[in-house]
Amino acid sequence: MTGAVDSKVAKLRPLGRRGLQVTGLGLGTAPLGGLYHDLSDEEAFNTVAAAWDAGVRFFDTAPHYGHTKAEHRLGDALRRYPRDQYVLSTKAGRRFVPRTTPYDGSEGWQNPLPFQAIYDYTHDGILRSFEDSQQRLGIVEIDILLIHDIGRVTHGDKNPFYWQQLTEGGGFRALDELRSSGLVKAVGLGVNEGAAILEVLAEFDIDCALLAGRYTLLEQATLDDLLPACEARGVGIMLGGAFNSGILARGVRGDLKFNYGAAPQEVIERVARLEAVCRVHDVPLAAAALQFPYAHPAIATVLTGARSAEELRQNAASFERPIPAELWTALRDRGLLDLRAPVPED
Protein backbone atom coordinates (compact mmCIF):
# COMPACT_ATOMS: atom_id res chain seq x y z
CA MET A 1 0.00 0.00 0.00
CA THR A 2 1.29 3.42 -0.94
CA GLY A 3 -0.04 6.91 -0.45
CA ALA A 4 -1.27 8.92 -3.41
CA VAL A 5 1.10 11.80 -2.84
CA ASP A 6 4.37 12.41 -1.06
CA SER A 7 3.08 14.30 1.96
CA LYS A 8 2.64 14.17 5.70
CA VAL A 9 -0.96 13.04 5.11
CA ALA A 10 0.22 10.04 3.09
CA LYS A 11 3.28 9.17 5.17
CA LEU A 12 3.09 5.62 6.47
CA ARG A 13 3.67 4.55 10.06
CA PRO A 14 3.44 1.05 11.52
CA LEU A 15 0.30 0.28 13.51
CA GLY A 16 1.06 -2.30 16.16
CA ARG A 17 3.33 -5.28 15.60
CA ARG A 18 1.63 -7.19 12.77
CA GLY A 19 2.87 -5.41 9.67
CA LEU A 20 0.02 -2.99 9.11
CA GLN A 21 0.91 0.55 8.07
CA VAL A 22 -1.45 3.51 8.10
CA THR A 23 -1.27 6.99 6.66
CA GLY A 24 -0.62 9.99 8.88
CA LEU A 25 -4.16 11.22 8.39
CA GLY A 26 -7.09 8.81 8.40
CA LEU A 27 -10.77 9.35 7.69
CA GLY A 28 -13.23 8.76 10.52
CA THR A 29 -16.73 8.25 9.21
CA ALA A 30 -19.11 9.29 11.99
CA PRO A 31 -20.00 12.38 9.89
CA LEU A 32 -20.88 10.07 7.00
CA GLY A 33 -23.44 8.55 9.35
CA GLY A 34 -25.00 11.97 9.95
CA LEU A 35 -23.44 12.98 13.26
CA TYR A 36 -25.03 16.37 14.09
CA HIS A 37 -25.62 17.12 10.38
CA ASP A 38 -27.37 15.12 7.67
CA LEU A 39 -25.41 14.38 4.50
CA SER A 40 -26.60 13.31 1.10
CA ASP A 41 -25.15 10.16 -0.47
CA GLU A 42 -23.35 12.38 -3.00
CA GLU A 43 -21.76 14.50 -0.26
CA ALA A 44 -20.58 11.37 1.55
CA PHE A 45 -19.10 9.92 -1.64
CA ASN A 46 -17.35 13.19 -2.48
CA THR A 47 -15.84 13.34 1.01
CA VAL A 48 -14.29 9.89 0.61
CA ALA A 49 -13.05 10.80 -2.86
CA ALA A 50 -11.45 13.99 -1.51
CA ALA A 51 -9.75 11.97 1.23
CA TRP A 52 -8.34 9.57 -1.36
CA ASP A 53 -7.12 12.44 -3.53
CA ALA A 54 -5.38 13.98 -0.49
CA GLY A 55 -3.43 10.77 0.15
CA VAL A 56 -5.57 9.25 2.93
CA ARG A 57 -5.41 5.45 2.85
CA PHE A 58 -6.84 4.57 6.25
CA PHE A 59 -10.59 4.54 6.75
CA ASP A 60 -12.44 3.76 9.98
CA THR A 61 -16.14 3.13 10.39
CA ALA A 62 -18.62 1.42 12.72
CA PRO A 63 -22.13 -0.04 12.64
CA HIS A 64 -23.08 2.56 15.26
CA TYR A 65 -22.49 5.50 12.91
CA GLY A 66 -25.88 6.47 11.58
CA HIS A 67 -27.19 3.08 12.72
CA THR A 68 -25.32 1.30 9.88
CA LYS A 69 -25.53 4.19 7.36
CA ALA A 70 -21.80 5.01 7.44
CA GLU A 71 -20.76 1.43 6.66
CA HIS A 72 -23.07 1.36 3.62
CA ARG A 73 -21.76 4.69 2.36
CA LEU A 74 -18.08 3.99 2.99
CA GLY A 75 -18.21 0.58 1.36
CA ASP A 76 -19.96 1.99 -1.69
CA ALA A 77 -17.23 4.62 -2.06
CA LEU A 78 -14.22 2.38 -1.33
CA ARG A 79 -15.23 -0.39 -3.74
CA ARG A 80 -14.14 1.96 -6.52
CA TYR A 81 -10.50 1.78 -5.38
CA PRO A 82 -7.91 -1.04 -5.42
CA ARG A 83 -8.40 -3.10 -2.27
CA ASP A 84 -4.69 -3.55 -1.67
CA GLN A 85 -4.10 0.20 -1.43
CA TYR A 86 -5.97 1.07 1.77
CA VAL A 87 -6.52 -0.11 5.33
CA LEU A 88 -10.09 -0.52 6.59
CA SER A 89 -11.31 -0.84 10.16
CA THR A 90 -14.75 -1.31 11.65
CA LYS A 91 -16.15 -2.20 15.05
CA ALA A 92 -18.19 -4.78 16.93
CA GLY A 93 -20.18 -4.84 20.16
CA ARG A 94 -23.52 -3.63 18.84
CA ARG A 95 -25.83 -5.68 16.64
CA PHE A 96 -28.46 -3.75 14.72
CA VAL A 97 -32.02 -4.94 14.32
CA PRO A 98 -35.12 -3.25 12.85
CA ARG A 99 -36.24 -0.38 15.05
CA THR A 100 -39.28 -1.02 17.26
CA THR A 101 -39.40 2.38 18.98
CA PRO A 102 -38.98 5.87 17.48
CA TYR A 103 -35.45 7.27 17.50
CA ASP A 104 -35.27 10.13 20.03
CA GLY A 105 -32.25 11.90 18.55
CA SER A 106 -30.25 11.61 21.78
CA GLU A 107 -27.17 10.12 20.07
CA GLY A 108 -26.75 13.04 17.68
CA TRP A 109 -27.49 11.16 14.45
CA GLN A 110 -29.51 13.06 11.90
CA ASN A 111 -31.73 10.88 9.73
CA PRO A 112 -30.18 7.52 10.72
CA LEU A 113 -31.31 4.28 9.14
CA PRO A 114 -34.30 2.56 10.83
CA PHE A 115 -32.34 0.18 13.03
CA GLN A 116 -31.58 0.03 16.74
CA ALA A 117 -28.65 -1.41 18.64
CA ILE A 118 -28.47 -4.45 20.86
CA TYR A 119 -25.21 -4.50 22.84
CA ASP A 120 -23.61 -7.90 22.42
CA TYR A 121 -19.95 -8.56 23.25
CA THR A 122 -20.28 -12.35 23.36
CA HIS A 123 -18.35 -14.74 21.13
CA ASP A 124 -21.24 -15.27 18.72
CA GLY A 125 -22.28 -11.63 18.91
CA ILE A 126 -18.82 -10.44 17.81
CA LEU A 127 -18.70 -12.93 14.93
CA ARG A 128 -22.19 -12.02 13.77
CA SER A 129 -21.41 -8.31 13.93
CA PHE A 130 -18.28 -8.87 11.84
CA GLU A 131 -20.20 -10.76 9.17
CA ASP A 132 -22.94 -8.12 9.12
CA SER A 133 -20.30 -5.43 8.59
CA GLN A 134 -18.79 -7.36 5.68
CA GLN A 135 -22.19 -7.44 4.01
CA ARG A 136 -23.01 -3.77 4.64
CA LEU A 137 -19.60 -2.66 3.38
CA GLY A 138 -19.71 -5.06 0.47
CA ILE A 139 -16.06 -5.75 1.30
CA VAL A 140 -14.90 -9.08 2.72
CA GLU A 141 -11.34 -8.00 3.60
CA ILE A 142 -11.65 -5.95 6.79
CA ASP A 143 -8.17 -5.26 8.14
CA ILE A 144 -8.94 -4.24 11.72
CA LEU A 145 -11.82 -5.15 14.04
CA LEU A 146 -12.28 -3.04 17.16
CA ILE A 147 -14.47 -3.66 20.20
CA HIS A 148 -16.62 -0.54 20.33
CA ASP A 149 -17.41 1.46 23.45
CA ILE A 150 -16.69 -1.00 26.23
CA GLY A 151 -16.15 0.95 29.44
CA ARG A 152 -17.88 2.85 32.18
CA VAL A 153 -18.42 6.02 30.18
CA THR A 154 -20.79 4.15 27.85
CA HIS A 155 -22.25 1.49 30.13
CA GLY A 156 -22.07 2.87 33.66
CA ASP A 157 -23.21 0.30 36.20
CA LYS A 158 -23.82 -2.25 33.43
CA ASN A 159 -20.18 -2.30 32.38
CA PRO A 160 -19.28 -5.39 34.52
CA PHE A 161 -22.03 -7.32 32.73
CA TYR A 162 -20.68 -6.45 29.29
CA TRP A 163 -17.10 -7.00 30.43
CA GLN A 164 -18.11 -10.53 31.44
CA GLN A 165 -19.43 -11.06 27.90
CA LEU A 166 -15.95 -10.28 26.59
CA THR A 167 -14.19 -12.55 29.07
CA GLU A 168 -16.35 -15.50 30.13
CA GLY A 169 -18.73 -15.00 27.20
CA GLY A 170 -15.94 -15.42 24.67
CA GLY A 171 -15.80 -12.00 23.04
CA PHE A 172 -12.03 -11.82 23.33
CA ARG A 173 -11.82 -15.39 22.07
CA ALA A 174 -13.79 -14.39 18.97
CA LEU A 175 -11.31 -11.59 18.27
CA ASP A 176 -8.42 -14.01 18.62
CA GLU A 177 -10.07 -16.51 16.27
CA LEU A 178 -10.62 -13.85 13.60
CA ARG A 179 -7.02 -12.71 13.90
CA SER A 180 -5.51 -16.20 14.02
CA SER A 181 -7.50 -17.32 10.97
CA GLY A 182 -6.39 -14.29 8.96
CA LEU A 183 -9.91 -12.94 8.52
CA VAL A 184 -8.60 -9.72 10.09
CA LYS A 185 -5.02 -8.54 10.43
CA ALA A 186 -5.36 -6.76 13.79
CA VAL A 187 -7.80 -6.40 16.67
CA GLY A 188 -8.28 -3.80 19.34
CA LEU A 189 -10.63 -1.27 20.90
CA GLY A 190 -12.49 1.84 19.81
CA VAL A 191 -13.28 3.87 22.94
CA ASN A 192 -13.55 7.33 24.45
CA GLU A 193 -11.73 6.53 27.70
CA GLY A 194 -8.14 5.52 28.31
CA ALA A 195 -9.05 3.46 31.38
CA ALA A 196 -10.88 0.91 29.22
CA ILE A 197 -7.76 0.33 27.12
CA LEU A 198 -5.66 -0.22 30.24
CA GLU A 199 -8.18 -2.74 31.57
CA VAL A 200 -8.15 -4.68 28.31
CA LEU A 201 -4.33 -4.64 28.15
CA ALA A 202 -4.33 -6.55 31.43
CA GLU A 203 -6.69 -9.17 30.02
CA PHE A 204 -6.08 -9.65 26.30
CA ASP A 205 -3.38 -9.06 23.68
CA ILE A 206 -4.66 -6.25 21.45
CA ASP A 207 -2.72 -4.78 18.54
CA CYS A 208 -4.16 -1.28 18.48
CA ALA A 209 -6.74 1.06 19.92
CA LEU A 210 -8.75 3.94 18.54
CA LEU A 211 -8.90 6.57 21.26
CA ALA A 212 -11.33 9.44 20.72
CA GLY A 213 -9.94 12.53 22.45
CA ARG A 214 -7.96 12.12 25.68
CA TYR A 215 -4.71 13.19 24.00
CA THR A 216 -5.28 16.58 22.43
CA LEU A 217 -4.27 20.21 22.83
CA LEU A 218 -6.85 20.33 25.62
CA GLU A 219 -6.01 17.18 27.56
CA GLN A 220 -2.84 15.17 28.05
CA ALA A 221 -3.49 13.11 31.19
CA THR A 222 -2.89 9.90 29.21
CA LEU A 223 0.82 10.75 29.35
CA ASP A 224 0.68 9.45 32.93
CA ASP A 225 -0.28 5.89 32.13
CA LEU A 226 -1.95 4.91 28.86
CA LEU A 227 0.52 6.18 26.28
CA PRO A 228 3.61 4.77 28.04
CA ALA A 229 1.85 1.42 28.46
CA CYS A 230 0.89 1.27 24.79
CA GLU A 231 4.35 2.27 23.67
CA ALA A 232 5.92 -0.42 25.87
CA ARG A 233 3.54 -3.10 24.57
CA GLY A 234 3.76 -2.08 20.91
CA VAL A 235 0.06 -1.18 20.80
CA GLY A 236 -0.58 1.41 18.11
CA ILE A 237 -2.94 4.28 18.87
CA MET A 238 -5.30 5.67 16.24
CA LEU A 239 -6.12 9.10 17.63
CA GLY A 240 -9.64 10.29 16.93
CA GLY A 241 -11.32 13.40 18.23
CA ALA A 242 -8.32 15.69 17.82
CA PHE A 243 -10.80 18.58 17.74
CA ASN A 244 -12.48 17.37 20.97
CA SER A 245 -15.82 17.05 19.14
CA GLY A 246 -15.50 20.43 17.44
CA ILE A 247 -14.27 23.19 19.70
CA LEU A 248 -10.65 22.93 18.52
CA ALA A 249 -11.65 23.06 14.85
CA ARG A 250 -12.73 26.70 14.76
CA GLY A 251 -12.20 27.92 18.29
CA VAL A 252 -14.57 29.87 20.48
CA ARG A 253 -16.35 31.42 17.49
CA GLY A 254 -17.15 28.02 16.03
CA ASP A 255 -18.85 24.85 17.23
CA LEU A 256 -18.73 24.91 21.04
CA LYS A 257 -18.99 21.14 21.40
CA PHE A 258 -16.61 19.27 23.70
CA ASN A 259 -16.64 15.51 24.20
CA TYR A 260 -19.98 15.15 22.35
CA GLY A 261 -21.75 17.80 24.46
CA ALA A 262 -21.80 21.50 25.20
CA ALA A 263 -18.37 22.79 26.16
CA PRO A 264 -18.11 23.91 29.81
CA GLN A 265 -16.92 27.44 30.50
CA GLU A 266 -13.47 26.40 31.70
CA VAL A 267 -12.88 24.57 28.41
CA ILE A 268 -14.03 27.59 26.41
CA GLU A 269 -11.64 29.81 28.35
CA ARG A 270 -8.73 27.43 27.79
CA VAL A 271 -9.47 27.26 24.07
CA ALA A 272 -9.49 31.06 23.96
CA ARG A 273 -6.00 31.05 25.49
CA LEU A 274 -4.80 28.47 22.96
CA GLU A 275 -6.25 30.55 20.15
CA ALA A 276 -4.52 33.69 21.37
CA VAL A 277 -1.10 32.01 21.27
CA CYS A 278 -1.79 30.51 17.84
CA ARG A 279 -2.83 33.91 16.54
CA VAL A 280 0.45 35.49 17.62
CA HIS A 281 2.34 32.87 15.60
CA ASP A 282 -0.04 33.00 12.61
CA VAL A 283 -1.07 29.36 13.01
CA PRO A 284 -4.70 28.23 12.69
CA LEU A 285 -5.89 26.46 15.82
CA ALA A 286 -7.04 23.51 13.71
CA ALA A 287 -3.52 22.99 12.35
CA ALA A 288 -2.01 22.89 15.83
CA ALA A 289 -4.78 20.57 17.04
CA LEU A 290 -4.28 18.03 14.25
CA GLN A 291 -0.49 18.03 14.29
CA PHE A 292 0.14 18.01 18.05
CA PRO A 293 -0.95 14.40 18.86
CA TYR A 294 0.88 12.97 15.85
CA ALA A 295 4.21 13.92 17.45
CA HIS A 296 3.83 11.23 20.12
CA PRO A 297 5.53 7.94 19.12
CA ALA A 298 2.54 5.88 20.30
CA ILE A 299 0.21 7.65 17.84
CA ALA A 300 0.24 5.92 14.45
CA THR A 301 -2.41 8.04 12.76
CA VAL A 302 -4.75 10.95 13.42
CA LEU A 303 -8.34 10.40 12.30
CA THR A 304 -10.26 13.37 11.02
CA GLY A 305 -14.01 13.41 10.51
CA ALA A 306 -15.31 15.54 7.66
CA ARG A 307 -18.82 16.16 6.40
CA SER A 308 -17.85 17.53 2.99
CA ALA A 309 -15.07 17.35 0.45
CA GLU A 310 -14.14 20.95 1.23
CA GLU A 311 -13.89 20.25 4.96
CA LEU A 312 -11.69 17.25 4.23
CA ARG A 313 -9.39 19.37 2.08
CA GLN A 314 -9.18 21.97 4.83
CA ASN A 315 -8.23 19.32 7.38
CA ALA A 316 -5.59 17.88 5.07
CA ALA A 317 -4.15 21.36 4.52
CA SER A 318 -4.09 21.92 8.30
CA PHE A 319 -2.19 18.67 8.77
CA GLU A 320 0.39 19.77 6.20
CA ARG A 321 0.77 23.42 7.25
CA PRO A 322 4.25 24.35 8.55
CA ILE A 323 4.19 25.35 12.22
CA PRO A 324 7.07 27.29 13.78
CA ALA A 325 8.77 25.70 16.77
CA GLU A 326 8.15 28.91 18.69
CA LEU A 327 4.44 28.09 18.90
CA TRP A 328 5.03 24.92 20.88
CA THR A 329 7.53 26.71 23.13
CA ALA A 330 4.99 29.45 23.82
CA LEU A 331 2.26 26.94 24.64
CA ARG A 332 4.57 25.17 27.07
CA ASP A 333 5.68 28.44 28.66
CA ARG A 334 2.06 29.44 29.29
CA GLY A 335 1.17 26.12 30.90
CA LEU A 336 -1.07 25.10 28.00
CA LEU A 337 0.92 21.95 27.15
CA ASP A 338 2.26 19.28 29.45
CA LEU A 339 6.04 19.66 29.47
CA ARG A 340 6.39 15.91 28.85
CA ALA A 341 4.36 16.01 25.65
CA PRO A 342 6.41 15.61 22.47
CA VAL A 343 5.83 18.29 19.83
CA PRO A 344 6.42 17.97 16.07
CA GLU A 345 9.88 19.54 16.17
CA ASP A 346 11.02 17.00 18.77
The confidence score (pLDDT) of residue 250 equals 87
341 is a domain residue: no
Instruction: Compare 300 and 346 and report the one with higher pLDDT.
Output: 300
The confidence score (pLDDT) of residue 2 equals 43
Residues carrying an active site annotation? 60, 65, 91
CA distance 315 to 332: 24
344 is a domain residue: no
Domain that holds residue 73: 12-333
The band of 78, judged by pLDDT with boundaries at 50, 70 and 90, is very high
For the chain, the domain total comes to 1
Amino acid at 210: L
339 is a domain residue: no
189 is a domain residue: yes
49 is a domain residue: yes
340 is a domain residue: no
Length of the chain: 346
User: Phi/psi of residue 176, each to 5°?
Assistant: -65, -40
Phi-psi region of 183 (alpha: psi -120 to 50; beta: other; left: phi over 0): alpha
Mean pLDDT, rounded, of the chain: 95
The confidence score (pLDDT) of residue 336 equals 97
The answer, as to whether pTM is greater than 0.85, is yes
The confidence score (pLDDT) of residue 261 equals 81
272 is a domain residue: yes
The confidence score (pLDDT) of residue 245 equals 81
6 is a domain residue: no
Pick the closest to residue 238 from 194, 193, 301, 316 (CA basis): 301
The band of 257, judged by pLDDT with boundaries at 50, 70 and 90, is confident
The confidence score (pLDDT) of residue 254 equals 75
The confidence score (pLDDT) of residue 246 equals 85
The confidence score (pLDDT) of residue 44 equals 98
CATH number of the structural domain spanning residue 56: 3.20.20.100
CA distance 305 to 32: 8
The confidence score (pLDDT) of residue 4 equals 44
Q: Model confidence over 143-163: pLDDT tens digits?
A: 999 999 999 999 999 999 999
